[in-house]
């Protein structure tokens, strides 16, 4: 969390799909997924969803500053099933990011372990000795004025993984309040968006693919 102000967007919820087991929503940047510590951080996505779906249950999270698609469970069975899919890396996610500078090459993989940077938490850091395995594939979509647009595919789910891996490449995500500095930080939001989510439906196992169009 950066700074003391928390002024989440008040736009109506963008619900992408709902049925008897799951609901998928396009989280806006600037809104917490779950409540933070203190009454001033009570407003969050799951609380807003709870007014529409009283049985809503958490499955995974997105950082406050990241936008994009999230799945929530509506039953305990769905929560267990989706939790298992995330733990076993059965869920496939892709993100769109705009990073600072011109990244060389067309695609690659970052395989660098990540650990909490305890003196500066909630920041994370690359830690070859005690970090947990973290793997991210990247592919260039286009290059612009000292920036590169990427599609990122994480194969693990470490906290701040994409942000830390892009920093490790020397190309922090634009607008990142934690890891970007100077001109790279001077944007109105973190340029990171969860674009697609592939999973199996908890009731019957059907393969599903959902998309939340990138807003930048």
Tell me what percent of the chain is helix, strand and coil, each rounded to the nearest 5. 15, 35, 50
Tokens coding 53: 């779906």
* Set 63, 127, 129, 176: catalytic member: 63
Is residue 63 annotated as a catalytic residue, yes or no? yes
Tokens coding 115: 């650990």
Residue with tokens 């709902």: 18
Q: Which helix (H) or strand (E) holds 139?
A: strand 135-143
The beta-carbon contacts of 138-144 under 8 Å, at least 24 apart in sequence, are 138/103, 138/107, 138/108, 138/109, 138/110, 138/166, 138/169, 139/106, 139/107, 140/103, 140/105, 140/106, 140/107, 141/96, 143/102, 143/103
Q: Active-site residues: which are they?
A: 63
């Amino acid at each position: 969390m950066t700074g003391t102000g928390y002024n989440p967007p008040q736009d109506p919820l963008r619900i992408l799909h709902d049925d008897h087991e799951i609901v998928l929503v396009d989280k806006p940047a600037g809104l917490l997924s779950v409540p933070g510590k203190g009454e001033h951080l009570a407003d969050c996505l799951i609380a807003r969803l709870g007014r529409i779906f009283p049985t809503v249950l958490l499955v995974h999270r997105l950082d406050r500053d990241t936008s994009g698609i999230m799945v929530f469970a509506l039953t305990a069975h769905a929560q267990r099933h989706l939790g298992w899919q995330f733990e076993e890396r059965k869920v496939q996610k892709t993100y769109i990011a705009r990073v600072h500078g011109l990244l060389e090459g067309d695609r690659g993989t970052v395989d660098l372990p990540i650990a909490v940077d305890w003196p500066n938490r909630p920041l994370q850091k690359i830690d070859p000795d005690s970090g947990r395995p973290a793997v991210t594939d990247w592919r260039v979509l286009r290059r612009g004025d000292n920036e590169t647009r990427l599609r990122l595919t994480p194969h693990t789910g470490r906290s701040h993984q994409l942000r830390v891996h892009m920093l490790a490449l020397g190309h922090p995500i634009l607008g990142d309040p934690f890891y970007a500095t100077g001109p790279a930080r001077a944007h109105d939001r973190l340029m990171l968006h969860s674009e697609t989510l592939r999973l199996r439906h908890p009731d019957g196992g059907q393969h599903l693919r959902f998309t939340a169009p990138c807003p930048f």
